Amino acid sequence: MSQSIEQKVEQWLTGTYDQATKEAILDLQSKNKEELADSFYKNLEFGTGGLRGIMGVGTNRINKYTIGMATQGFANYLNKVYPKEKISVAIGHDSRNNARFFAETTAQVFAANGIKVYLFEALRPTPELSFAIRNLQCKAGVVCTASHNPKEYNGYKAYWNDGGQLVPPHDKNVITEVECIQSIDDVKWEGGAENIELIGKSMDDAYIQMLQSLSVYPEIIANQHDLKIVYTPIHGTGITLVPKALAAFGFTNVQVVEAQSIPDGNFPTVHYPNPEESETMSIGLSKAKELDADILLGTDPDADRVGIGVKNHKGEWVLMNGNQTAVLAFAYMMEARRAKGIAKSNDMVITTIVTTEMINQVAKENKVNCYNVLTGFKWIAELIKEKEGKENYVIGGEESFGLMIGDQIRDKDAVSAVALLCEMAAYEKSKGKSLFDKMIELYIQYGFYYESLISITKKGMNGQQEIADMMQGYRQNPPSSINQSAVVTLLDYELQVGKNLQTGDTWKINLPKSNVLQFITADGSKISARPSGTEPKIKFYFSVNTNLKDKSAFDSTYQILQDKIRGIIQSMQLN
């Protein structure tokens, strides 16, 4: 082990850490030096979204001390920004192991710093935390969650007063304050218990009331109230609000997947509690088949992501990907609002740079402004704030199974998404069709766009460097062609420059810096490379498109697009 690691270990063994922590370190010293080194070789980085990591002892792990130091830094920043105001924050957590303990630790540190804390009495969906910040006019908020990560992980997501996650300048400023906390002795751990107030049912009721206002066709739900819905919370927080939300919308035939209904941080029935994974949705899919349901929905542990299953044109159950779900939702909110006569001339929608271009096409043909922001709902929230009073935000979303409907919440929200997706299924059923039928209609009308994603994981101490080297290689030597189609445009969001590789013309990208590269080819394919901000992964997003003549050509056209993406992956040597 390096000297710096040994010094850190010694600090923890001799410092004012609890005895259980010291014993766990001694146990690693004797039994697993490699794990000990990984636990201490760096400080867990407080990124622009907060903390996320494996739970355990050490500076590179999520534990009471890393959570407490982060909270002290956040509290110091809040007291600097609002020196003469009464500051309040809202705090929530999901179903992960230790999440309640971490939320209470966060609450205690804020309270000890003289800050009023509204702490949810028990687990709740992350989007309700965003709603509570706005509803209670808090200056900030925190939710203890690691979203869809494996069970070993937990995390800490930081929010500002608009209910969105931290964006410039607050993100960097909070990071600076957190980095100033050099010791656990700098943290105010106790005192101020009177500053903590528990919240629960009244906030649930306010959230559900807000949710009902998002419905476009409540009269169609009334006629289709017995739509057969199968829902799985995947051992997460969705169980607290999703059934209530569906009942409030008027749905009366909701079957919850019992094997996954109880919140459990060990996620005993799945490897990854992520509705993007077909294996995770398999139990729900079996239930949907058994009941001959109309729609299957699954939400991740903190209920901000939603996955759906429907019957395809052959009557077979299939899982929709995040881009398809987003297209369906965006199209519904634009088309249905217009048909109902409630669309506004200044309506706008927001998507992200790695999400399907089909949304831009739908918006263009519906004469609705569509903005493309960086990946992450904090950028959607930031643009809503920027456009407030000038344009009317309707819906935002991205390919990672996330939707944000209406402006009362400023983070992705699977609870409202489930309700609206069921309304959409009811709307199509009232016309004798399924959501899959609607998807094919949209492909015929707007173009058949097909997307895929692969993640390459680089573990260990060298993982991040390997990913950085890959990105540097693409920057210095961009491919001249991909899958036998010339690369015509290179977009570098880190340098904020776009370049036409054929003419040499360049232009400025008016978005904040982000380590993303995009290659657009002559045949309209788009390939995006983006390192994860929270995990040692690099993600590659692929988007291809063509025309779809009619429903009968769907299968053959789909095959052509799948083959095209396989060709791109092979061409880039990513398989």
Query: Which helix (H) or strand (E) is 309 found in, with range?
Result: strand 306-311
481 is annotated as an active-site residue: no
Query: Which helix (H) or strand (E) is 405 found in, with range?
Result: strand 402-405
- Which residue in this structure is represented by tokens 């490699």? 34
Q: Do 45 and 171 touch, CB atoms closer than 8 A?
A: no
Catalytic residue among 39, 95, 147, 452: 147
Q: Do 167 and 379 touch, CB atoms closer than 8 A?
A: yes
Q: What is the 3-state secondary structure (H, E, C) of 514-559?
A: CCCEEEEECCCCEEEEEECCCCCEEEEEEEEEECCCCHHHHHHHHH
Q: Cα-flanking dihedrals φ and ψ of residue 344, to 5°?
A: -115, 155
Q: What is the dihedral of CA 279, 281, 285, 287, to 10 degrees?
A: 110
Q: What is the dihedral of CA 236, 242, 244, 245, to 10 degrees?
A: 150
Instruction: Give the Å distances, CA to CA, from 207 to 69, 300, 396.
Output: 32, 19, 19
Strands (E), 416-484: 448-457, 481-482
- The token pair at 487 is 């690369």
- Which residue in this structure is represented by tokens 């209904």? 261
> Cα–Cα–Cα angle for 328, 203, 91, nearest 5°?
95
Task: Tell me which residues are annotated as active site.
Answer: 147
